[in-house]
Amino acid sequence: QVQLVQSGAEVKKPGSSVKVSCKVSGGTFSSHGFNWVRQAPGQGLEWMGGIIPILGSTTYAQKVQGRVTITADESTNTAYMELISLRSEDTAIYYCARGDLRWILDVWGKGTTVTVSS
């Protein structure tokens, strides 16, 4: 059974950066895409971007474009999301979600809490 295992919670200062990992366990890696979706406290879901390793392509939401980088390491079956210039509004749970070329998110990680506070 495919699982997405995410890295642990982070507490960061405003202006710093965070890098969250998402390791695929029990399934293929490069034949899927990997997306990052965040959820601020008490709020809904916000798609940040995604990567399709087999195509070598990434797409980002305009809101975070320029601050977010999504990468994938096929040798370790791990996807990454790095967010720079952190602000308090970036405080959220960050989910990794497996997708495909149809952008259907069928497997999700448990989430990584990122807290941005001075």
Partner 1 sequence: DIQMTQSPSSLSASVGDRVTITCRASQSIVTFLNWYQQKAGKAPNLLIYETSSLQSGVPSRFSGSGSGTEFTLTISGLQPEDFATYYCQQSYSVPVTFGGGTKVEIK
Count of chain residues binding partner 1 (CB under 8 A): 23
Of the pair 14, 106, the CB lying nearest partner 1 is at 106
Under the binding rule (CB under 8 A), the answer on residue 102 touching partner 1 is yes
Q: State yes or no: residue 9 binds partner 1 (CB under 8 A).
A: no
How far is it, in rounded angstroms, from Cα 100 to Cα 44?
22
- Structure tokens of 13? 């200062």
Q: How far apart are CA 49 and CA 19, in angstroms?
A: 14
CA dist 76 and 69 (Å) reads 18
CB nearer to partner 1: pick between 59 and 71: 59
Kindly state whether residue 47 participates in binding partner 1, applying the rule CB under 8 A.
Answer: yes
In 3D, which of 35, 76, 84, 85 has the Cα closest to residue 57? 35
Closest contact distance (angstroms) between CB of 75 and partner 1 is 26
Please pick, from the candidates 8, 62, 75, 89, the single residue that binds partner 1 as defined by CB under 8 A. 62
Task: Tell me, rounded to whole angstroms, the distance of Cα 15 from its chain centroid.
Answer: 19
Q: Per the structure block, which two tokens stand in for 33? A: 């895409």
| Binding of residue 106 to partner 1 (CB under 8 A) | yes
Binding site for partner 1 (CB under 8 A): 35, 37, 44-47, 49-50, 59-62, 95, 97, 102-106, 108-111
